[in-house]
Structure 1
Amino acid sequence: MAAPASDQLANRILRGLAVGVVLGVVTLLAGPKLPLPAGLQELLVHVGVKSSANLLEAMRGISTVLLDPFGRVFLRLLFFVIVPLVFASLATGVVQLGRPDKLGPLAGRTFFLFFLNMAIGVALGLIMMNTLQPGGHIDAETKARLMAEFGGAAQKHVATQAGQSGLSLTVIVEMFMPANLLAAVVGSSTARIGDVLPLILFAILVGVIGMSFPDAKRRRLLDALELVTELMTGIVHLALRLAPYAVPCLIYSVLVKSGLDIIWALIWFLLGCAAVMAIHLFGTMSLWLKLWTQWSPRAYFAAIKDVIVTAFSTSSSNATLPTALQNATEKLKLSPSTAGFVLPLGTTMNMSGTALYEGCVVLFVAQVFGIDLTLGQQVTLLLLSVLSAVAVAGIPGGSLPLIAGLLITFGIPPEGIGIILGTDRILDMCRTATNVGCDVTTAVVVDEMTKRAEARKAGK
């Protein structure tokens, strides 16, 4: 049987990553020793590459003139959808909650556990990143070169931070509620994406007001928002079709410009993220089971292993939902009403692995560029990672535009996302397994809480 299209795309991206890494390493090792013939130097100068003494210098020039623009096409397709996708996805998620006064205790428990789950996940990720400092495995010269390449926004950010001792209420209000919403979101030039924080707040406000509409009008609003989300998701799919060609170009360019340090940094980043996702799924969720249910962690994870394997292999929360629903009602013996409410909602909202990953990527790219995020900024990052994870489409690669938006928010060059593209697919599988595993665990906890509440009510 033929492999699913997403699996075929993933394999092509990974093969492209391998080709880019191998060629980059060979260029770094052999390039300084190989002089360029005079005729080739003249040809390269004609296409815009500066005169080079050896192959490595020439390939750095070729990367800047030829490879980076191609990779930038892929990145810009992702950047195109940031504003409409964040707005439509987040507003849709809020409107879909329905009338808050009609949801009752079941919804209250569910939303509280969703937020707690994602916040704990992001906090664990940020602790790991601050401890391992994977982006710190790059020397100062390489960081300076990367800043020169991508760092216009980063340099402005560093200069701004140098003059700020911390966040004040006035600064926070200006961040979330500028006097001119459209100007703040659109940005000051075509080379810069606008601020995402006001957009997030505006989307939440639209969603909250939309919840109060009569059912027919609310349905029309939902249809319009869902149509925009589908259109933007289609553009993301289009961008991902370029990924098998863009990823090797981007990773090769980063390697020849940054040296082998970037490979070690990526390895530490990948291992750290995978480890902390496993800790959250099997550690935090085991504590939840001990605190709020009668399940032993060993028996529980044995019961849901088919769900976790499906999520890991498909990298799609949406594709795993039927398996999760069947498992919840047949093996875990959850109430159909609880499973039917918590699991579909969790597929859209309870993205703990994604939120964790988003926070880790922002810190990693900041470390690579030598940008320090203060404790207050990291707390803000935690909250924004939780909010933006809710807006992520449950498809492979769905988080990339949102991560770019977070990078912009903290003054980090969004092009830095190209550094982690090669590892994104592998970690996408890990975070989807974490997302779905936490969804099912939340459903188990909510079901247990609901049954205990009903028993107490019946005993009165």
Structure 2
Amino acid sequence: MSEARAAPRKLPLHWKMLIGFVVGLAAGLAVHYTVGGDVPAVAMVTKYLTIPVKTVFLNLIFMLVIPLLFAALVMGVSEMGDVRAFGRVGWKTLLYTVAMSALAVVLGLVLVNLLQPGAGVDEALALQLLSENAENARGIVSSAGEQPSGIDMLLSIIPSNIVAAASSNDTILSVMFFALMLGVGLVVNRNEATETLRRGIQGLFDVSMTLIGFVIRMAPYAVACLMFNMAVVFGVELLVQLGAYVGVVVLALALHLLVTYSIALKLIARRSPLEFFRGVREAMLLAFSTASSNATLPTSLRVADEELHLPRRISRFVLTVGATANQNGTALFEGVTVIFLAQFFGVELSLTQQVTVMFVCILGGIGTAGVPSGSLPVVALICAMVGVKPEGIGLILGVNHFLDMCRTTLNVTGDLAIAAMVSKDEDDIPGTEAAIGPA
């Protein structure tokens, strides 16, 4: 009698990406330091293999990013439930979520501008890489230069034609504003018709996530091609810049986690930061190991109940909403990544453009796709919007899983911290445990 053989375990996607990253980097460095990038044979490989593969990958990302972001943002807002029914608990949750996300992105942008991890690359080499598909690059840069500023930028966020806005990368804020308004409308109007609409948008979200999942499976090959293209041009200097980038991201995440949240816990929740972090360490470790907010949610709920002793009704509401809407670490990561790539390719971003990046990162954090490298479409879209070559995302994919573990730890810990802040004074209200009514 033969024994059934266990099915071989598939290699996780992030390991495949790392392999593609290393293979592409090694091949590119070998070519750079042996024959050079100007040899006709190398030009043939890039023209007919590596550039077409990375172009197909990026085009698929851009094709799906609008429906994905639109549906994710609508569902992220609508899943907050009836904010009016939760009274001040709902509004405090919303206020703290937006405020902490904004602080995270601002901290990231300040650090990446001060430390300049992408600076120092030879401008001629950067321009050489940017000259690939020069027509597309010129189109992106020229459109970025025409972006409105000041009060015109604020007015341009409100679209007069949402279909026209959805057709252009430059007006993604308009699409996100419309999605935000639609999500709010679904929150305040609960009836059979709006539930049908909500289920339809949920279907769009599910389909978009499935398709993005298929596209992401192509990422290891695209990463190899992207890294080969850049390593041929930049050589070992690429590794130096990448190490500096990882250091800045981790530093920004650590400062927001240990400093910003400690201050908020002390001033708002009236809790000892040391006691809080000691109580949530189990959830933090699980978040770091799984790199998934949703997978950590059951542990977060138990920690909030048994270690932090938060009102159960409040912690369930805040943590469930936060698993989707409070993505501080993801928003910070996206902001730092876009500015790093701008520095790497020598693209000067104005204050207006950086403010736009901040807004998109905050809104994008509300509904980040729950698939591996789910923030990748947002980063690629913001890059194109501000005139940075989107193929630069190949730089980050090899180290993305480690950074994903770090930012998920911040996301989960932030959810618990916000639950503690919201619970301050609420646990003294009689009947809060049973139901939270309007304040």
The answer for unaligned runs of 5 or more in structure 1 is: 33-51, 188-192, 456-460
From 333, 338, 342, the equivalent of 2:318 is 342
- 1:136-285 correspondence to structure 2 within 5 Å: 136-150=119-133, 152=135, 154-156=137-139, 158-159=141-142, 167-173=149-155, 175-187=156-168, 193=169, 195-285=171-261
Assess if the C-alpha contact under 8 Å between 1:392 and 1:398 holds in 2: yes
From 354, 358, 371, the equivalent of 2:330 is 354
From the superposition, tell whether residues 53 and 9 of structure 1 become closer, same or farther in structure 2 (CA, over 3 Å): closer
- Residues 311-355 of structure 1: CA deviation (Å, up to 9, x unaligned): 112221111111111111112211111110000100110000000
Greater mean deviation of Cα atoms: 396-405 or 224-233 = 396-405
Assess if the C-alpha contact under 8 Å between 1:355 and 1:385 holds in 2: yes
In the alignment, what sits opposite 1:379? 355
Higher helix share: 1
Assess if the C-alpha contact under 8 Å between 1:329 and 1:336 holds in 2: yes
Aligned alpha-carbon RMSD (Å): 2.6
Q: AA paired with 1:131?
A: L
- Mapped to 2, the partners of 1:367 and 1:418 lie a distance apart of 15
- 1:92-103 correspondence to structure 2 within 5 Å: 92-103=75-86
- Residues 238-283 of structure 1: CA deviation (Å, up to 9, x unaligned): 1222222221221112111333322221111111101111111122
In the alignment, what sits opposite 1:118? 101
1:392 aligns with 2:368: yes
1:31 aligns with 2:44: no
TM-score by length of 2: 0.89
Fraction of identical pairs, as percent: 34
1:14 aligns with 2:6: no
- 1:48-59 correspondence to structure 2 within 5 Å: 54=39, 58-59=41-42
- SS of the residue corresponding to residue 171 of structure 2 reads coil
- SS of the residue corresponding to residue 154 of structure 2 reads helix
Greater mean deviation of Cα atoms: 286-295 or 366-375 = 286-295
- Mapped to 2, the partners of 1:389 and 1:284 lie a distance apart of 18
- Mapped to 2, the partners of 1:285 and 1:210 lie a distance apart of 31
- SS of the residue corresponding to residue 143 of structure 1 reads helix
Q: AA paired with 2:118?
A: G
- Mapped to 2, the partners of 1:375 and 1:299 lie a distance apart of 39
In the alignment, what sits opposite 2:48? 65
In the alignment, what sits opposite 1:133? 116
- Mapped to 2, the partners of 1:312 and 1:331 lie a distance apart of 19
- Residues 220-253 of structure 1: CA deviation (Å, up to 9, x unaligned): 2221111111111111211222222221221112
Assess if the C-alpha contact under 8 Å between 1:350 and 1:390 holds in 2: yes
Assess if the C-alpha contact under 8 Å between 1:75 and 1:418 holds in 2: no
- Mapped to 1, the partners of 2:8 and 2:280 lie a distance apart of 24
- Mapped to 2, the partners of 1:382 and 1:291 lie a distance apart of 25
1:426 aligns with 2:402: yes
Assess if the C-alpha contact under 8 Å between 1:311 and 1:433 holds in 2: yes
From the superposition, tell whether residues 432 and 124 of structure 1 become closer, same or farther in structure 2 (CA, over 3 Å): same
Paired residues, number? 426
- Residues 411-451 of structure 1: CA deviation (Å, up to 9, x unaligned): 33333323322222221111111111111111112112423
Greater mean deviation of Cα atoms: 257-266 or 321-330 = 257-266
Q: AA paired with 1:356?
A: L
In the alignment, what sits opposite 1:331? 307
- SS of the residue corresponding to residue 135 of structure 1 reads coil
- Mapped to 2, the partners of 1:360 and 1:288 lie a distance apart of 23
Q: AA paired with 1:180?
A: N
What is the Cα deviation at residue 286 of structure 1? Answer: 1.4
Q: AA paired with 1:26?
A: A
- Mapped to 2, the partners of 1:218 and 1:445 lie a distance apart of 32
- Mapped to 2, the partners of 1:420 and 1:89 lie a distance apart of 23
Assess if the C-alpha contact under 8 Å between 2:140 and 2:384 holds in 1: no
1:370 aligns with 2:352: no
Assess if the C-alpha contact under 8 Å between 1:315 and 1:396 holds in 2: no
1:410 aligns with 2:392: no
- Mapped to 2, the partners of 1:341 and 1:229 lie a distance apart of 22
- SS of the residue corresponding to residue 288 of structure 1 reads helix
From the superposition, tell whether residues 163 and 389 of structure 1 become closer, same or farther in structure 2 (CA, over 3 Å): closer
Q: AA paired with 1:217?
A: A
TM-score by length of 1: 0.85
In the alignment, what sits opposite 1:42? none
Assess if the C-alpha contact under 8 Å between 2:310 and 2:423 holds in 1: yes
What is the Cα deviation at residue 116 of structure 1? Answer: 1.2
1:78 aligns with 2:61: yes
What is the Cα deviation at residue 158 of structure 1? Answer: 4.9
In the alignment, what sits opposite 2:437? none
Q: Which runs of 4+ in 1 moved over 4 A?
A: 1-5, 150-154, 156-164, 452-455
